[in-house]
Amino acid sequence: MNNVSDFATEWIKSHGGTLLSEEELATKLADIDKQAEEKAAVDYLALKRKVYDRDSLWPSNRKATFTFERWLPERQANVKLATKIKNQATDIFKRLRSDNFNIFILGNAGTGKTAITLALVNALERYSHKTVMFVSTVALRESVMYEFSDLGARAKLDRIAKSMQEVDVLILDDFGSEVGMSGNGKQATERLQQFYMRVADARYEVDENDKRTKSTIVTSNNVRSELEGMYNDKLISRLVTKKTENVLLFAGLEDIR
């Protein structure tokens, strides 16, 4: 592929040379290429984000947004604890801009886990070059269940799977709820396990410097051992981090729904 500067050089030559010195011309041409590349990178990112937006799965099919500004510690009785959790979330956001790691957000219903996750999504879209995809695990389970009902559903699920494997930051919201209440011996279906395993394997890849290239954010009402009861241990080990700095514990916060 030719750069804009290659065309410019040809054009200038065909018009009998330049009015600038060699050095000035070289600088100008390098500038032209830099601007073109930057514009192309911005446009390409916007296109990719549109695709991941299309493939996201929202609870009740409605896209939701939230921001750190709107996530108020004052909504909780334990303001101090809520402030600490918010600070930890903003610290995770800062590290996530340039690094890749998994995040586990654990807590009871209505304590603000999804809201803070959406705030992270919003901040990444505004202040980073990362692509993000939101997957409600309950909605995903339905898609996997009805995969065989028609060709359209199958094609859609294939697109979703590909995007889930490739996106920079994947959110698995309410992981575990799709299997049912914990502690009653319920296990995810074989098909769902296999679907997640393919996604988790692809997302665990590392680059030539042994650095992770993708991040996965899991929110759940279920502690790790409960998730291990529903899914294969290998899957949980790839998706659910144990690193305390990357675990947001909402224990002690109240249901404010």
The residue ranges that bind Mg ion (CB under 5 A) are 114
CB of 42 to Mg ion, least distance (A): 32
The least distance separating Mg ion from the CB of residue 243, rounded to whole angstroms, comes to: 22
Query: Closer CB to ligand ATP, residue 110 or residue 194?
Result: 110
* Smallest distance from ligand ATP to CB 67, Å: 10
| Beta partners for residue 132, in sequence order | 169
Residue 221 contacts which entry, Mg ion, ligand ATP, none (Cβ below 5-8 A, type-dependent): ligand ATP
Q: Identify what 75 binds: Mg ion, ligand ATP, none; CB under 5 to 8 Å per kind.
A: ligand ATP
**From the CB of 134, what's the least distance to Mg ion, in Å?**
11
3-state secondary structure at position 226: helix
Q: Which C-beta is closer to ligand ATP: that of 164 or that of 171?
A: 171
Q: Which is nearer to Mg ion, 200 or 218 (CB)?
A: 218
Residue 110 interacting partner from Mg ion, ligand ATP, none (CB closer than 5 to 8 Å by kind):
ligand ATP
Nearer to Mg ion (CB atom), residue 196 or residue 250 = 250
Minimum CB distance to Mg ion smaller for 114 or for 182: 114
3-state secondary structure 151-215: HHHHHHHHHHHHHHHHCCEEEEECCCCCCCCCCCCCCCCHHHHHHHHHHHHHHCCECCCCCECCE
Binding site for ligand ATP (CB under 6 A): 66, 70-72, 75, 107, 109-115, 174, 221, 256-257
Angstrom distance (rounded) from CA 203 to CA 126: 23
Of all residues in this chain, which one has the CB nearest to Mg ion in the complex? 114
Whole-Å CA distances, 238 to 56, 87, 101, 194, 199: 21, 26, 11, 13, 10
Name the residue with the smallest CB distance to ligand ATP. 112
Half-sphere exposure in the Cβ direction for 109 (13 Å, CA): 4
Q: How far is the CB of 239 from Mg ion (least distance, A)?
A: 17
Give the nearest distance from C-beta 84 to ligand ATP in angstroms.
Answer: 12
Q: Residues near 176 by Cβ (< 8 Å), separated by ≥ 6?
A: 137, 182, 220, 221, 222, 226, 227, 230
Separation of alpha carbons 110 and 253, rounded Å? 9
Answer with the entry of Mg ion, ligand ATP, none that 134 interacts with (C-beta below 5 to 8 A by kind). none
Q: Which is nearer to ligand ATP, 118 or 164 (CB)?
A: 118
The Cα 247–Cα 3 span in angstroms is 45
Find all residues with CB under 8 Å of 5, minimum gap 6, and list them. Answer: 29, 30, 32, 33
